[in-house]
Structure 1
Amino acid sequence: MLIAFNKPMNVLSQFTDEGRWPGLKHHIDMPGVYAAGRLDRDSEGLLLLTDDGKLQARIASPKAKMPKTYLAQVEGTPTAEALDALRRGVTLKDGPTRPARVEEVPAPAWLWPRDPPVRVRKTVPDAWLKLTITEGRNRQLRRMTAHVGLPTLRLIRVAIGPWSLNGLAPGEWREVSPAG
């Protein structure tokens, strides 16, 4: 079994609550499934859950290099140099990243409001980037965009390999084919 879940902001990628942050149990009442990978508390979007250990490893293992696609609202105006640096890979404190696919895109028309809303500053422009990476270090995309001078304001994972959010509202889930 494989479940696609649209993880809301400020929900943990685990079933147990931790402090003031709620876990997945508030959204998914399905015993025996576990997250295949994780999504930071302050990130939103696609989280896959499964009861199949081999499938979980295939999705989450860094060796599998499963592509993960995100929409990132960033502070600032992306330059050709900043985007090229992300495409080549940047060197973070924990070493060089693999190259990312990246393009500037318009703000998604289908996007749900965030709670709390992103702080908007009238004097500082923002932009949206679509990024695909094949690794998943801790807070990697946030660190990559900050490294090139574009701090991330909002991060939404829209796809993992062949699976996508595909119209799921925050907090909603559906069963999907393990084959993608």
Structure 2
Amino acid sequence: MARLILFNKPHGVLSQFTDERSGRPTLADHIDLPGVYPAGRLDRDSEGLLLLTDDGQLQARIADPKFKKPKTYLVQIEGVPDEAALNTLAQGLTLKDGPTRPATVRRIDAPDLWPRVPPVRYRKTVPDAWIELTITEGRNRQVRRMTAHVGHPTLRLVRWRIGDWSLDGIAPGKWRNA
């Protein structure tokens, strides 16, 4: 039977078990299980749900964009988006590597999350807002590029859900079996 691990990747941790540079935290600092590998990636600057498995077929079904597995992110952005910005995100937009698929997006109240280390920079003169964004692809830094494209750079990015799997009840740096 395939093993599936749900891990809450902290900010600053690489989505791999080894690093050619020394001193950067990796998955090996949090998970001591032989034979499991990430199904997809999260940037070092991003936090949240990372799935790991020992089953190559399951890994492909989770990570490959052709399966259109929805991924939901809680995103703190600079500025307060208007309806036009939200509609552009929802309809899909064209990035340097081509058009994105339509997304589901809505403004949300600030979620009750753990403190980020290091904290997100705070600027008195620039408001921020939170959105929930669900995409069905996972290009390199896609969510960050999408929010920047509509004039609202990402300040904090937390992947909360992949398909039916959620981060509910998993503290940063901790994992559990699915």
Q: Return the TM-score normalized by structure 1.
A: 0.96
* Counterparts of residues 101-140 of structure 1 (less than 5 Å): 101-109=104-112, 111-140=113-142
**Secondary structure, aligned partner of 1:159:** strand
Quick one: percent identity of the two aligned structures?
73
1:67 aligns to what?
70
**Secondary structure, aligned partner of 2:32:** coil
The number of residues matched between the two structures is 175
* Pairing 1:153–2:155 present: yes
**Secondary structure, aligned partner of 1:16:** coil
Q: CA deviation at 1:18?
A: 4.1
Match of 2:126, as an amino acid? V
Distance 2:149 2:35 in 1: 39
Match of 2:92, as an amino acid? G
Match of 1:70, as an amino acid? Y
Distance 2:67 2:138 in 1: 11
Deviations 1:67-98 (A, max 9, x none): 00000000001100000000100110111100
Distance 2:54 2:98 in 1: 33
1:77 aligns to what?
80
1:28 aligns to what?
31
1:12 aligns to what?
14
Distance 1:152 1:146 in 2: 7
Structure 1 runs, 4 residues or longer, greater than 2 Å off: 17-20
Distance 1:76 1:96 in 2: 24
Deviations 1:128-168 (A, max 9, x none): 00000000000000000000001000000000000000111
1:52 aligns to what?
55
What runs of 5+ residues in structure 2 fail to find an aligned partner?
none
* Pairing 1:168–2:174 present: no
What runs of 5+ residues in structure 1 fail to find an aligned partner?
none
**Secondary structure, aligned partner of 1:10:** coil
**Secondary structure, aligned partner of 1:141:** helix
Match of 2:111, as an amino acid? P
Distance 1:47 1:28 in 2: 12
Question: Cα 1:45–1:18, aligned 2, differ >3 Å: closer, same or farther?
Answer: farther
